[in-house]
């Protein structure tokens, strides 16, 4: 059977249809301003999932557009599989707040991290708690 597991050295890329080509090129080159980052190293799957969701909610509320999520390459995991990388890929792909994500340039972590492009949130959609 063909495995749909992502390998540790594999580059990730996902973009929703309709994204401007120029914006996508800048994004993939790492040319957009990185507004925050999250490091998931050392967390288990459940912790990483919860932290990633909370981080994305916070970034969306702050109107941030471009962030980095560091998932590592999974080389040190007990299963020898990039568990967090696979989790991040699936979670980001299924999150409606995400326009695109891709593996970072080498200077930002290469295949051990992803740039994440968030949708613009209309100001009136944000709750004032």
The string of pLDDT tens digits covering residues 24-73 is 999 999 999 999 999 999 899 999 999 999 999 999 999 999 999 999 98
Yes or no: say if 97 and 55 are a contact pair by the CB < 8 Å rule.
no
Mean predicted lDDT score pLDDT of the chain: 89
Structural domains of the chain, count: 1
Alpha-helical segments (H) within the chain: 21-29, 45-61, 83-93
Nearest to 43 by CA among 8, 3, 85: 85
Does 122 reside within a domain?
no
The per-residue pLDDT for 123 is 63
Q: Could you give the percent of the chain with pLDDT greater than 70?
A: 88
Could you report the per-residue pLDDT of 103-115, keeping only the tens digit for each? 999 999 999 999 9
The per-residue pLDDT for 129 is 45
Whether residue 86 has pLDDT greater than 50:
yes
Nearest to 34 by CA among 109, 93, 100, 116: 116
For the chain, the farthest-separated pair of C-alpha atoms sits apart, in whole angstroms, at 50
Domain region containing 100:
13-111
Whether residue 3 has pLDDT greater than 70:
no
Nearest to 88 by CA among 123, 30, 43: 43
Whether residue 100 has pLDDT greater than 80:
yes
The per-residue pLDDT for 125 is 54
CATH number reported for the structural domain that contains residue 58 in this entry: 3.30.1370.110
Mean per-residue pLDDT, 75-101: 89
**Cα–Cα distance between 44 and 15 in angstroms, integer?**
27
Does 104 reside within a domain?
yes
Phi-psi region of 8 (alpha: psi -120 to 50; beta: other; left: phi over 0): alpha
Does 128 reside within a domain?
no
Q: Is residue 113 helix, strand or coil?
A: strand
Whether residue 124 has pLDDT greater than 60:
no
Does 26 reside within a domain?
yes
């Amino acid at each position: 059977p063909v495995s749909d597991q992502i390998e540790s050295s594999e580059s990730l890329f996902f973009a929703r249809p309709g994204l401007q080509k120029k914006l996508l090129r800048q994004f993939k080159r790492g040319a957009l301003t990185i507004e925050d980052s999250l490091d998931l190293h050392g967390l288990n799957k459940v912790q990483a999932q919860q932290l990633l969701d909370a981080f994305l909610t916070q970034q969306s509320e702050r109107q941030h557009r471009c962030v980095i999520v560091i998932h590592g390459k999974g080389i040190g995991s007990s299963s020898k599989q990039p568990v967090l990388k696979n989790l991040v890929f699936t979670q980001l792909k299924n999150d409606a707040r995400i326009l695109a994500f891709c593996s970072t340039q080498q200077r930002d972590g290469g295949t051990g991290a992803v740039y994440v492009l968030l949708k613009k949130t209309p100001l009136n959609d944000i709750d004032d708690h």
